[in-house]
Structure 1
Amino acid sequence: MFGINWLPTAAKVLLTALLTVFLVFNLSGCGDRLATSKEIPPSSTLTSAPQEKISEVSPPDTIQILRESLDTYRPQVAILSPQADEVLQDTTVTVRLAVRDLPIFKNPELGLGPHLHLILDNQPAQEIYDITQPIVFEDLLPGTHTLRVFATRPWDESFKNEGAYAQTTFHLFAKTQENNPDPNKPLLTYNSPTGNYGAEPILLDFYLTNAPLHLVARENPNDEVADWRIRVTVNGSSFLVERWQPIYLKGFTPGKNWIQLEVLDENGNPVINNAFNNTVRVITYSPRGKDTLSKLMRGELSAADALGIVDPNYIVKAPAPTPTPEPIPTPEPTETTEPTPTPETEIQPQVPLSEPEPAATPEAAPLPEPTTEPTAEEIPPAQTDEGEATQASSEGV
């Protein structure tokens, strides 16, 4: 009896031991897998590296500094009209928006500033810098439409705080299934890139609503809370994103580039049972752009020069003038009249002056002797012709 019952008993014991070892090994393996999936480095954004040329880089230094200036804001956005689930009897819709705790403006010199992105259905976003004026959509198709709006920074990065996003669904004439997202399922809103770009890196940004936190979704693999991922495809190269954060990419080809965003579940399957969860955009990349955003991305604008796009009251300080030496005036040539040379006088040899001889004292002339006037008798007659006349006249006397 003992020998007969020993084999089955030994077999049972051996089988039990093998099952125990298998279960322990299997559970330890599951524990390692769960721990690995939870321990995602905070700095890690991509779960798989981009292929080919596309790669993630750090945000430009100026962007990081300017971002800190806006981190104090918690914008609260609202759609005032149309109302949720409202049925309108027109193909023209007037939209009114409101925002608190964020200045909305565009710097006149730099052309950027905090603003709103308004999306009708799944069209590219429309930039709103003035909420005092209504936004009018014309010639809309009858049926259901959805508006989504959220606050963005000057370089198009979305604010992701609670209340920074608003959504409403309305209908024209009648309700339809198109453009009607399920409010209880994860919803992807494509934000950036879109349009034209003149420099790298290029911002990849999206908005995600109704998606659980990874920690909650992974806490119990048997519950109904599904985890999520975003699959990004750029020009055919795909990678996965698990963090709801802005990503800066480089490696784009000059010209046309296409970007696709998809929501995946925890098993890697597309969550296609909700509107807008698979979106494709085409952008144009033209290097050496001269716009403000391109200069910011290349680091050609300092934070001091760009503070006007985050602060509406900022005044650019004029640089202190560099002292320049005053130019020394060049003297104008003046006409100088040369003095007329005076002819040199010939120097005569000096002749020694002889002392003047004393003037001879003239001898005194001898005084004439006194003469007595002769009498008539003593005067002899003149022996001239006149004597005759004299004599005749005397005779007449």
Structure 2
Amino acid sequence: MRALISLRFVCMILCGAAVALSLTGCATDTNQNGSTTVTTTVTPPASASPSPAAPTLGVVERPQKIKDQMAQRGEQDEAEPGLRFVEPREGANITGSTINVKLTLSGDLKGYKPSKDPATGMGNHIHIILDNQPYEAYYNLDQPFELRNVTAGPHTLRVFASRPWHESYKNATSFQMVTFTVKGGGDASRPTTTATGQTMADNKNVNANKPPAAAANANAPNANAANANANAAPREGKDMPASAAGSIDATKPLLTYSRPKGEYKGADADAIMIDFWLSNAKLQGDGG
């Protein structure tokens, strides 16, 4: 069964200060005729700075701005949205490098509907995760979520319903997963993107789980392009290690990571939400 995971906002506090003390010593040397005095300044090695204390994590309340949003949403935060894949189907074999993701939404929604507010750029949405890469947000279920330049081989898609501040819904039907195989896929030297250009996977580790011969053959046509892109700066939140997500066993415990993502500055770093989906297991506080 899937565990219901409580949201945690955590505050990371860095404690301790490094104090460096610089000492200067003076020595006077007079020669035999007393005509010259030389003053030498000696700086001894600086004392080693004490190591800063280890960061500590603590559970804190939701930020006030989140509480205000919740108050304006009525019963939406008590909803139990249910998702289902229309495309791709579990175990599908797909020819070509473009994948259209289609979902249906049902359940006790209490007004919950994915959409983006043009003024704020926020709104209810679905988190879509390709293989083991960071998610992208899907706001309009009336239109397919298009994946472009998907590479050949096995892939996994995971989805779950989310609030505007990226807190996921933890009811059992919110999370869904499918595996599929692409034949004649895209260019492994280029990233997999959405129709609007958001990076879903950088593909630099696309051959990590292939047999050596298959990986060599896949790399050969794209070697020059890959070398040209080797020094490009990675997109924030997308520089991920090789993934074995294509071989996920859906019957075993699985943690699907969601937040934090990217860089937090200013007030946004005061309380950071840790959010993930846990399948086929329970946390200790929930009976695990």
TM-score relative to the length of structure 1: 0.40
CA distance in 2: counterparts of 1:148 and 1:160, whole angstroms: 14
Amino acid at match of 2:93: V
SS of aligned partner of 1:124: coil
Amino acid at match of 2:148: E
Q: Whose strand fraction is larger, Structure 1's or Structure 2's? A: 2
CA distance in 2: counterparts of 1:215 and 1:53, whole angstroms: 20
SS of aligned partner of 1:159: coil
TM-score relative to the length of structure 2: 0.53
Relative to structure 1, the CA distance from residue 197 to residue 171 in structure 2 (aligned partners, 3 Å threshold; closer, same or farther) is same
Relative to structure 1, the CA distance from residue 185 to residue 43 in structure 2 (aligned partners, 3 Å threshold; closer, same or farther) is closer
Amino acid at match of 1:201: A
SS of aligned partner of 2:150: coil
Question: Of 249, 252, 264, which residue of structure 2 is paired with 1:197?
Answer: 264
1:179 aligns with 2:225: no
State how 1:196-215 maps to structure 2 within 5 Å: 196-198=263-265, 199=268, 200-212=270-282, 214=284
CA deviation digits over 1:355-379, x for unaligned, max 9?
xxxxxxxxxxxxxxxxxxxxxxxxx
Relative to structure 1, the CA distance from residue 173 to residue 109 in structure 2 (aligned partners, 3 Å threshold; closer, same or farther) is closer
Displacement after TM superposition at 1:178 (Å): 5.2
Name which structure has the greater RCO, CA cutoff 8 Å, separation 6+: 2
CA distance in 2: counterparts of 1:105 and 1:140, whole angstroms: 26
Please identify, of 170-179 and 193-202, the stretch whose mean Cα deviation from structure 2 is larger: 170-179
CA distance in 1: counterparts of 2:166 and 2:283, whole angstroms: 24
SS of aligned partner of 2:62: coil
Q: Whose helix fraction is larger, Structure 1's or Structure 2's? A: 1
State how 1:291-310 maps to structure 2 within 5 Å: none
Relative to structure 1, the CA distance from residue 193 to residue 178 in structure 2 (aligned partners, 3 Å threshold; closer, same or farther) is closer
CA distance in 2: counterparts of 1:61 and 1:213, whole angstroms: 27
CA distance in 2: counterparts of 1:122 and 1:143, whole angstroms: 14
Amino acid at match of 1:130: N
Question: Of 70, 78, 91, which residue of structure 1 is paired with 2:84?
Answer: 78
CA deviation digits over 1:218-275, x for unaligned, max 9?
xxxxxxxxx5xxxxxxxxxxxxxxxxxxxxxxxxxxxxxxxxxxxxxxxxxxxxxxxx
Displacement after TM superposition at 1:45 (Å): 9.6
Amino acid at match of 2:159: V
1:139 aligns with 2:149: yes
The runs of 5 or more residues in structure 2 that have no matched partner are 1-5, 15-53, 185-208, 211-243
Relative to structure 1, the CA distance from residue 55 to residue 178 in structure 2 (aligned partners, 3 Å threshold; closer, same or farther) is closer
The residue that corresponds to 1:115 in the other structure is: 125
SS of aligned partner of 1:104: coil
Relative to structure 1, the CA distance from residue 45 to residue 129 in structure 2 (aligned partners, 3 Å threshold; closer, same or farther) is closer
CA deviation digits over 1:175-228, x for unaligned, max 9?
9775221111111111001123332212111111111464896xxxxxxxxx5x
Question: Of 52, 55, 65, which residue of structure 2 is paired with 1:52?
Answer: 55
> Residues 8 and 273 of structure 2 are in contact (CA less than 8 Å); yes or no, is this contact kept in structure 1?
no
The residue that corresponds to 1:63 in the other structure is: 66
When the two chains are superposed, the root-mean-square deviation of aligned CA atoms in Å is 3.1
Amino acid at match of 1:64: K
> Residues 101 and 146 of structure 2 are in contact (CA less than 8 Å); yes or no, is this contact kept in structure 1?
yes
Identity between Structure 1 and Structure 2 (%): 33
Question: Of 98, 103, 115, which residue of structure 2 is paired with 1:97?
Answer: 103
Equivalent pairs counted in the alignment come to: 175
State how 1:241-320 maps to structure 2 within 5 Å: none
Relative to structure 1, the CA distance from residue 44 to residue 116 in structure 2 (aligned partners, 3 Å threshold; closer, same or farther) is closer
CA distance in 2: counterparts of 1:216 and 1:196, whole angstroms: 30
The residue that corresponds to 2:136 in the other structure is: 126
Relative to structure 1, the CA distance from residue 216 to residue 74 in structure 2 (aligned partners, 3 Å threshold; closer, same or farther) is closer
Relative to structure 1, the CA distance from residue 44 to residue 78 in structure 2 (aligned partners, 3 Å threshold; closer, same or farther) is closer
> Residues 9 and 60 of structure 2 are in contact (CA less than 8 Å); yes or no, is this contact kept in structure 1?
no
Higher Rg = 1
SS of aligned partner of 1:62: helix
Amino acid at match of 1:184: T
Relative to structure 1, the CA distance from residue 137 to residue 63 in structure 2 (aligned partners, 3 Å threshold; closer, same or farther) is same
CA distance in 2: counterparts of 1:88 and 1:97, whole angstroms: 17
The residue that corresponds to 2:176 in the other structure is: 166
CA distance in 1: counterparts of 2:257 and 2:92, whole angstroms: 25
> Residues 81 and 173 of structure 2 are in contact (CA less than 8 Å); yes or no, is this contact kept in structure 1?
yes
The runs of 5 or more residues in structure 1 that have no matched partner are 1-41, 218-226, 228-397
